[in-house]
Amino acid sequence: MKGRISAVIFLFLILFSTALAQEETIANQEQNTTSNDTVINETATNETEVETLTANESEIKQEQEKEIEEIIFKNFIPKEFKLGDAQFSIQVQNNKNETINDIIAFVSGKGFSTYEVTPIEMLEAGERGYILVNGNFKESGLINLTIKISQKTFHQEVKILGESEEDIKKAELLVKQQEDKKKALAEISSRLETLEQKYSDLEAQLSEKEKKDYDIEDISLSELKKYIRETQASILGEHLEAAKVNIGLAAEELDTIEKKLTSAKKLPLFKRFKEYLIIFSSIAGAIITFFAFYELIKKKGKEAVTTIEGMKPKAEKKEESQEVKEEEIEKEKIAEQKEHEKPKAEKKKKKKHK
């Protein structure tokens, strides 16, 4: 049995080292082939990164100066309203490294009353979402709203249009813009439904490709899922510009994934062989561990039997020595009794003799 196990282990080591050597050779060839293209791409990337860093330098500094908080206030849409009923959305970002649930806002201000708030049910780490607030403005002019979210207080100034001729025209324009926005958001919502269906189809295709041993290691749906979620949030918050950007990014990501799936090829034989080797090594390791454990139990069993057998003669000797001691004690008692009886017997004889 031990000889068979050793042979299996030796064969496994030979196969594993062969597969690794083939993999290193192919990897080196691919690296040499793509080195020139990488240099060119890195040069272009570096130029782009320099421009991006320069443009966003001030924003980065501002972010670094901010106190690390659970919730970050990002945006307030819109900022201009007519008198009466109004709806606005508060965009926030989860700044924690874990998911936050049930994020709600409490809004107050001069002449403003809230009658309905739609909270964010769940916000993952780093994700942005919108809290919807429905209320009523009773006073015109500039009003400072106080917003409380998760024990943090934020302030936002809004303009409420009054009864002047200029404000009435602006209010009419706002109504028209709101109608146009709703139509645009409805179109984006329809596109989003199509994207969500394609996302489900992609999940099924990826699963099928994986079963058939296709190389899909570089294909991920995480970014597409992220853009879809952000589009949903933008539509809910009636943030038209953000919805347009996110739906566009989602469409581009979808197109990229579809192209990658179309051009996906089956895994090379050595890679599949390597995966089988890993599985085989796990099984072999389990078998070796089992036999080693079996041998250990067997050895311990033999040692236990030997110990028990060695203890038997000792116990027997102890019993024999105990019996001998008891016999000697009994003899000593009998001898003592005889010694005591001798003087009595002699006295009786003397009396009879007289």
pLDDT at 194: 93
Number of folded domains in the chain? 2
- C-alpha distance across the termini of the chain, in Å: 98
Cβ proximity of 131 and 119 under 8 Å: yes
d(CA 91, CA 258): 32
Residues in the chain: 354
Phi-psi region of 49 (alpha: psi -120 to 50; beta: other; left: phi over 0): alpha
Cβ proximity of 225 and 284 under 8 Å: no
pLDDT at 65: 41
Residue type, 23: E
Average pLDDT of adjacent 10-residue blocks, the chain of 354 residues: 54 55 53 48 47 48 51 89 91 88 92 92 88 93 92 91 86 88 92 93 88 84 90 89 92 91 76 54 68 70 61 56 69 70 57 50
pLDDT at 45: 47
Among residues 238, 246, 242, 243, which one has the least CA distance to residue 131? 238
Q: Is residue 11 part of a domain?
A: no
- CATH number (domain holding residue 113): 2.60.40.10
Domain holding 148, by residue range, is 71-163
Q: Is residue 38 part of a domain?
A: no
Residue 15 neighbours by CB under 8 Å, 6+ apart? 273, 277
User: How many of the other CB atoms lie within 10 Å of CB of 229?
Assistant: 16
Q: What is the pTM of this model?
A: 0.54
Among residues 68, 120, 130, which one has the least CA distance to residue 99? 120
pLDDT at 349: 55
State which of 163, 191, 223 marks the end of a domain.
163
Q: Is residue 138 part of a domain?
A: yes
State which of 163, 185, 211 marks the end of a domain.
163
Residue 170 neighbours by CB under 8 Å, 6+ apart? 80, 161
d(CA 26, CA 310): 64
d(CA 97, CA 280): 38
